[in-house]
Structure 1
Amino acid sequence: MELLKEKILKEGRVIGEHILKVDHFLNHQLDVSLLNAIGRAFKERFGGEEVTKILTAEVSGIAIAAITAQYFDVPVVFARKTSSFNLDKETYEGSVYSYTKQQLYKFRVSRHYLPENEKVLIIDDFLANGEAIKGLCEIVASARATLVGAGVVIEKHFQGGGNKLREKGLNVQALVSIASLTKGQITFLQ
């Protein structure tokens, strides 16, 4: 997706050799025109699949998933990272180790919003080690719903998470894959 690559090169910031900051347009401040293009791109990639629900993680994935859902005309469910009084007691859970926060936590989704007849597409902003998607997959499996695939905006290919998920048979589609962030330079896979 050339538009996304251009935006990353122009406005992305590299920190060390593992972190790409795109908070200026993707996950803190949002470029809605870009998000619309991302939603259309996911519809093109997964348009042949029957999708009845989109699942994402709180917080960064919500905006991307919501715009993508418009193109599929389906609801979005987001997995919560924290428990609260207004979350149903009956939930599906998935364990996630956050690379950026260096901590283990659980994703939770109310059983009410993910019945077993759903055909679920996971949407997220980044794919590095694959932990977030793995946790979301655990939720889909617990619900006995059908997982049709996972769409990610940016895959840090050099961290290997996408390949691990693909080896398990998951249809993972990244709009942009990064081969390296060495010496502050962003190198795309293709």
Structure 2
Amino acid sequence: MKILEQRIKKDGRVLGKDVLKVDSFLNHQVDPELMQAMGEEFATIFSDEKIDKIVTVESSGIAPAVFAGLALHVPVVFARKNKSLTLPENVWTADVYSFTKQTTNHIMIDHRFLSAAENILIIDDFLANGQAVEGLLKIANDANANVVGVGVVIEKTFQKGRQILDERGVRVESLARIKGFENDEVIFL
């Protein structure tokens, strides 16, 4: 998606050899017009699938997921990272390691919001090592839901996430695919 690649080149910041900071438009401050364009792009890409719900992990996946849900006219469910007093005991759970935060989160989705035989599309902000998506796949499997695909805003192809999902036979569609970083610049595929 050219508009996303241009925005990454303009406002993304490379940190070290494997981290891209996009907090000015995706995961701290959000550009709603860009999110809308990405949501519409995901809707176009997955127009051949029957989708009942979109599932993501809080918090950076929520904005692109909501705009994809808007474009597809389906609800969005996000896996929570923290149990609140209002969250019931009946939840689907998975442990997810965060590459950028170097911590493991215990994510959960209320049973009421993910049911057997529902067709779900997973949306996430980044695909690096695939841990967030793996956690959502586990939850979907536990709920007997059908994952029709994974939509990723930014994929770092030099990390193992795509390979893991390809080996599982999961359809992955990324809006921007990064080959690597050179001289603090992003190199796209």
Same topology, TM > 0.5? yes
Cα offset, 1:182, TM superposition: 3.2
1:17 — aligned with what? Answer: 17
Cα offset, 1:117, TM superposition: 2.5
Are the aligned partners of 1:17 and 1:183 in contact in 2 as well (CA < 8 Å)? no
Within-5 A mapping of 1:54-133: 54-133=54-133
Unmatched tracts of structure 2, length 5 or more: none
1:49 — aligned with what? Answer: 49
1:185 — aligned with what? Answer: 185
TM-superposition CA deviations, 1:117-163 (whole Å, max 9, x none): 21000001111000000000000000001110100000011012112
Are the aligned partners of 2:9 and 2:185 in contact in 1 as well (CA < 8 Å)? no
User: For the aligned residues, what is the CA RMSD?
Assistant: 0.8
Higher mean alpha-carbon deviation, 159-168 vs 18-27, is at 159-168
Normalised by the size of structure 2, how large is the TM-score?
0.98
1:155 — aligned with what? Answer: 155
Higher mean alpha-carbon deviation, 155-164 vs 126-135, is at 155-164
TM-superposition CA deviations, 1:31-82 (whole Å, max 9, x none): 1111111001101111100000000001111111111101110100000011
SS at match of 1:43: helix
Distance 2:10 2:145 in 1: 40
Distance 2:172 2:163 in 1: 9
Aligned-pair identity in percent equals 46
Distance 1:155 1:7 in 2: 15
Cα offset, 1:105, TM superposition: 1.9
SS at match of 1:84: coil
SS at match of 1:181: strand
Normalised by the size of structure 1, how large is the TM-score?
0.97
Distance 1:154 1:82 in 2: 25
SS at match of 1:106: strand
Q: In structure 1, what residue type is equivalent to 2:19?
A: I
Are the aligned partners of 2:178 and 2:186 in contact in 1 as well (CA < 8 Å)? yes
Unmatched tracts of structure 1, length 5 or more: none
Higher mean alpha-carbon deviation, 13-22 vs 178-187, is at 178-187
1:40 — aligned with what? Answer: 40
Are the aligned partners of 1:122 and 1:150 in contact in 2 as well (CA < 8 Å)? yes
